[in-house]
Amino acid sequence: MAALDTVLARIDANRDAALDRLFRLVSIPSVSTDQAYAADCVRAAEFLAAELNAIGFEASTRPTRGHPMVVAHGKGARPDVPHLLFYGHYDVQPADPLALWETPPFEPRLVEAGAGTQIVGRGVSDDKGQLMTFIEAARAFKEAGELPCRVTILLEGEEESGSPSLPDFLAENKKELSADLALVCDTSMWDRDTPAVTTMLRGLVLEEAVIRGADRDLHSGMFGSAAVNPIHVLAKIIAGLHDEAGKVTLPGFYDGVAELPEEVAEQWRGLGFDGEGFLRAVGLSVPAGERGRSVLEMLWSRPACDVNGISGGYQGEGSKTVLPAEARAKFSFRLVGQQDPQKVAESFRAYARAALPADCGIEFISHGASPALALSFNSESLSRASRALQAEWGVAPVLAGCGGSIPIVGRFKSDLKMDTLMVGFALDDDRIHSPNEKYELSSFQKGARSWARILSALAA
């Protein structure tokens, strides 16, 4: 195995070239949810496969019914070392609203900020900058000798659109992708100076509901109050999803939700998390979730129900007096503990059907589902990764929860029987999914060094 000091020196020497490679990747508008960008998703996959082949991996793009996967296998590692599967995604969220970007979203740039230098561009934090930290660490190992572990890399192109091709791809390639441990770099640090290992991850259910009334849009003067309005029906359904205390009202929704163990709750209280400051940073002041819960509990260990989009009727400038023939909304349910995604979806659908008046029908469209995940605090890989991160950052990492969902992690557990070590270098203010997304230059550079240390620690 190459000496760690030599590998770290190679990472430092490659900083300018590494940044150029990241810029080239970010400049590709690989928006997975919009088929207008399908060719760009292919281009991003081909770029990554070429980069991995150039540093000695056996890499290729793999077709799916959607956007291609990238699969790469490292060469040269001894057979007696651990086999690791690293996962990342090259697709990004749409850049809308474009008017709020200070510069074009797919023209990455460096910005000097008060706390340091930032890289700005769509997808730079979620997840292109993150996945490139691992690739740059692997590059340094290959330049210095060989990888310390057997490494397989899986890069997906549909994470931001619900991963529709992923289940079949994992099933068809189960033997090739099975490993001792999965690695995911799609999470955050505790703060810009303190790393974190994510040990709890919320699951996700994505549902879309379409309510239909009359067989066409109706004149509100001629039909108003006499004809059912699908927007009114939808609004009532949405309003009934929470009670006055902020709890979700769906029958059975909290089945499998356990209270946080006191020792974990005490550790979280000791983090000094400023819930009011967290909300103030985005222009808010009052927690809106379950009454009596801290903001950190709401984000990490409690389930949630949200409406992510509503449409219906006239959307153009000015007014148009119509009763719409249909209204639709997109819902997301964040899950924790042992909540069953299928049962949550079924409960939501039953609730919505029961709320329908006469003359209305409803259609449901599923956009994916995944269970919650927790990594044991006694995991040997967690201990080794924690020591490696402390060596790089000078402080012990926070063992954190995460309010977001990474469906692949649940798939790794259920389909490939693998635990996942989740280490990421994003920050809460990276504005992922929003205009002017950024990634700290220090996260990119020290992230690569961190992965080098973690790979060495796992191989030791």
pLDDT tens, position by position, 55-65: 999 999 999 99
Question: Residue 310 has which token pair?
Answer: 């509503």
Closest CA relative to residue 347, chosen from 255, 256, 251, 240? 251
CA gap 368, 389 in Å, rounded: 33
Task: Map residue 384 onto helix, strand or coil.
Answer: helix
Beta bridge partners of 118: 111, 440
User: DSSP state, 36?
Assistant: G
Closest CA relative to residue 360, chosen from 218, 231, 206, 225? 231
177 vs 403 pLDDT, higher one: 177
- C-alpha radius of gyration, the chain, whole number: 23
35-to-70, 94, 170, 306 alpha-carbon distances in Å: 19, 11, 23, 26
Say what angle helices 129-144 and 15-26 make with each other, to 10 degrees: 140
pLDDT score at 82: 95
Question: Residue 397 has which token pair?
Answer: 């990492």
pLDDT in tens, 8-50: 999 999 999 999 999 999 999 999 999 999 999 999 999 999 9
Q: Under 8 Å CB-to-CB from 350, ≥6 apart: which residues?
A: 251
Contact criterion met (CB below 8 Å) for 409 and 170: no
Cα 439 from chain centroid (whole Å) = 15
Q: Which contiguous run of DSSP H or E holds residue 341?
A: helix 341-354
Question: What would the mean pLDDT of 141-152 be, rounded to a whole number?
Answer: 95
User: DSSP state, 415?
Assistant: H
Q: Is residue 114 predicted with pLDDT exceeding 90?
A: no
CA gap 128, 28 in Å, rounded: 11
Closest CA relative to residue 191, chosen from 271, 293, 122? 271
pLDDT score at 33: 96
Model confidence at 2, pLDDT cuts 50, 70, 90, reads: confident
Q: Angle at Cα 176 formed by Cα 125 and Cα 414, nearest 5°?
A: 70
Contact criterion met (CB below 8 Å) for 70 and 52: yes
Contact criterion met (CB below 8 Å) for 213 and 325: yes
φ, ψ (nearest 5 deg) of residue 413:
-75, -45
CA gap 155, 207 in Å, rounded: 25
Task: Map residue 181 onto helix, strand or coil.
Answer: strand
Q: Is residue 449 predicted with pLDDT exceeding 70?
A: yes
Report cis status (omega within 30 of 0) of the bond before 127: yes
Q: Is residue 1 predicted with pLDDT exceeding 70?
A: no
Question: Residue 237 has which token pair?
Answer: 């359904």
pLDDT in tens, 405-445: 777 888 898 899 999 999 999 998 999 999 999 999 999 99
Question: Residue 321 has which token pair?
Answer: 């007096």
pLDDT score at 263: 74
Closest CA relative to residue 203, chosen from 328, 68, 343, 310? 343
Domains of the chain from N-terminus onward: 4-201+374-459 (3.40.630.10), 203-257+303-370 (3.30.70.360)
CB atoms within 10 A of CB 404: 15
Q: Is residue 279 predicted with pLDDT exceeding 80?
A: yes
